Chains A and B, each alone.
Chain A
Amino acid sequence: MGIQTVAVHSDVDSNAVHVKMADEAVCVGPAPTSKSYLNMDAIMDAIRLTGAQAVHPGYGFLSENKDFAKRLAAVGVTFIGPDTHAIQAMGDKIESKLIAKAAKVNTIPGFDGVVKTAEDAVKIAQQIGYPVMIKASAGGGGKGMRIAWNDEETREGFRFSSQEAASSFGDDRLLIEKYIDNPRHIEIQVLADKHGNVLWLNERECSIQRRNQKVVEEAPSMFLDADTRRVMGEQAVQLAKAVKYSSAGTVEFLVDSKKNFYFLEMNTRLQVEHPVTECITGLDLVEQMIRIAKGYQLQQKQEDIPINGWAIESRVYAEDPFKSFGLPSIGRLSQYQEPLKLSHVRVDSGIEEGSDINIYYDPMISKLVTYGATRAEALARMEDALDNYVIRGVTHNIPLLREIITHPRFVSGDISTNFLPEVYPEGFKGHHLDEDRCRELLASAAALHVTSQLYSHKILGTQRVSSAPMDQNNWELCVELGQELHDIEISKSGNSYIVKVDGGQVEVCGDWNLASPLLPLTINGTCRMLQCLSKESSGNIVLQYMGTLFKVRVLSKLTAKLNSYMPEKVSEDTSSILRSPMPGTVVAMSVKPGDTVADGQEICVIEAMKMQNSLTAVKQAKVKSVHCQPGETVGEGDLLVELE
Chain B
Amino acid sequence: PFCALTRPLSAIACLLQTNIQSDCRWYSVSHLSVKERIEKKRKAAQMGGGQKRIDAQHQRGKLTARERVELLLDPESFVETDMFVEHRCSDFGMEQDANKFPGDSVVTGRGRINGRLVYVFSQDFTVFGGSLSGAHAQKICKIMDQALTVGAPVIGLNDSGGARIQEGVESLAGYADIFLVHPSDLPHHGSLCILTHLMLCLQDTSYLFITGPDVVKSVTNEDVTQEELGGAKTHTAVSGVAHRAFENDVEALLYLRDFFNFLPLSNQDPAPIRECQDPSDRLVKSLDTVVPFESTKAYDMLDIIHAVLDEGDFFEIMPTYAKNIVVGFARMNGRTVGIVGNQPKVASGCLDINSSVKGARFVRFCDAFNIPIITFVDVPGFLPGTAQEYGGIIRHGAKLLFAFAEATVPKITIITRKAYGGAYDVMSSKHLRGDMNYAWPTAEVAVMGAKGAVQIIFRGKENQAEAEAEYVEKFANPFPAAVRGFVDDIIEPATTRKRICRDLEVLASKKQVNPWKKHANIPL
Residues of A within 8 A of B115 (CB): 457, 459, 465-466, 468, 470
**B286 touching A354 by the CB < 8 A rule?**
yes
A66 to B59, CA, bound (A): 74
Closest beta carbon of chain A to B288's beta carbon, Å: 6
A15 to B247, CA, bound (A): 41
- Segment at the interface with B among A127-135, A560-568, A585-593, A631-639: A560-568
- Segment at the interface with A among B41-49, B255-263, B379-387, B415-423: B255-263
| B352 interface residue per 8 A CB criterion | no
Indicate the size class of the contact surface on chain B: 35 or more
**B250 touching A563 by the CB < 8 A rule?**
yes
B-contact 0/1 string along A531-571, CB 8 Å cutoff: 00000011100000000000000010011001101110100
**B274 touching A460 by the CB < 8 A rule?**
yes
* Partner among B61, B77, B279, B311 whose Cβ is within 8 Å of the Cβ of A565: B61
| A171 interface residue per 8 A CB criterion | no
| B22 interface residue per 8 A CB criterion | no
**A459 touching B285 by the CB < 8 A rule?**
no
**B293 touching A333 by the CB < 8 A rule?**
no
| A424 interface residue per 8 A CB criterion | no
| A436 interface residue per 8 A CB criterion | no
* A residues 308-355 in Cβ contact with B at 8 Å: 332-336, 352-355
Closest beta carbon of chain A to B358's beta carbon, Å: 22
| A301 interface residue per 8 A CB criterion | no
In this complex, how many residues of chain A approach chain B with their Cβ under 8 Å: the count is: 43
| A456 interface residue per 8 A CB criterion | yes
Known: A332-B303, A334-B306, A537-B257. A460 touches B250 (CB 8 A): no
Residues of A within 8 A of B249 (CB): 562, 566
A-contact 0/1 string along B280-305, CB 8 Å cutoff: 00000111111001000000000100
**Residue with the highest number of chain B CB atoms closer than 10 Å, among A15, A470, A537, A538:** A537
Closest beta carbon of chain A to B500's beta carbon, Å: 16
| A432 interface residue per 8 A CB criterion | no
CB-CB nearest in chain B for A12:
B293
Residues of B within 8 A of A335 (CB): 286
CB-CB nearest in chain B for A569:
B247
* A residues 86-121 in Cβ contact with B at 8 Å: none
Residues of A within 8 A of B269 (CB): 462, 464
B-contact 0/1 string along A350-386, CB 8 Å cutoff: 0011111000000000000000000000000000000
**A558 touching B71 by the CB < 8 A rule?**
yes
A304 to B269, CA, bound (A): 76
Residues of A within 8 A of B290 (CB): 332, 354
A465 to B264, CA, bound (A): 11
* Partner among B254, B273, B278, B306 whose Cβ is within 8 Å of the Cβ of A537: B254
Residues of B within 8 A of A11 (CB): 293
**A538 touching B71 by the CB < 8 A rule?**
no
**A515 touching B277 by the CB < 8 A rule?**
yes
Residues of B within 8 A of A333 (CB): 286
Residues of A within 8 A of B159 (CB): none
Residues of B within 8 A of A14 (CB): 293
**B61 touching A354 by the CB < 8 A rule?**
no
* A residues 32-49 in Cβ contact with B at 8 Å: none
A336 to B270, CA, bound (A): 36
* Partner among A355, A456, A513, A566 whose Cβ is within 8 Å of the Cβ of B114: A456
Known: A456-B258, A537-B255. A462 touches B310 (CB 8 A): no
Across the A-B interface, give the 10 residue pairs with the lowest CB-CB distance, nearest first.
A354-B286, A515-B278, A567-B61, A458-B275, A537-B258, A354-B289, A515-B277, A566-B248, A565-B58, A537-B255
Known: A455-B274, A472-B75. 15 other contacts (CB 8 A): A15-B289, A352-B285, A456-B274, A459-B115, A459-B261, A461-B273, A466-B116, A515-B278, A515-B311, A537-B258, A538-B254, A559-B254, A563-B250, A566-B61, A567-B204
On B, residues with C-beta under 8 Å from A are 58, 61-63, 67, 70-71, 75, 77, 112, 114-117, 204, 247-251, 254-255, 257-259, 261, 265, 269-270, 272-279, 285-290, 293, 303, 306-307, 310-311, 334
- Name 15 A/B residue pairs within 8 A (Cβ), A-sorted: A15-B289, A335-B286, A456-B257, A458-B274, A460-B334, A464-B117, A470-B115, A514-B277, A537-B255, A538-B255, A539-B254, A558-B75, A566-B61, A567-B248, A569-B247
On A, residues with C-beta under 8 Å from B are 11, 14-15, 332-336, 352-356, 455-462, 464-466, 468, 470, 472, 513-516, 537-539, 555, 558-559, 562-563, 565-567, 569
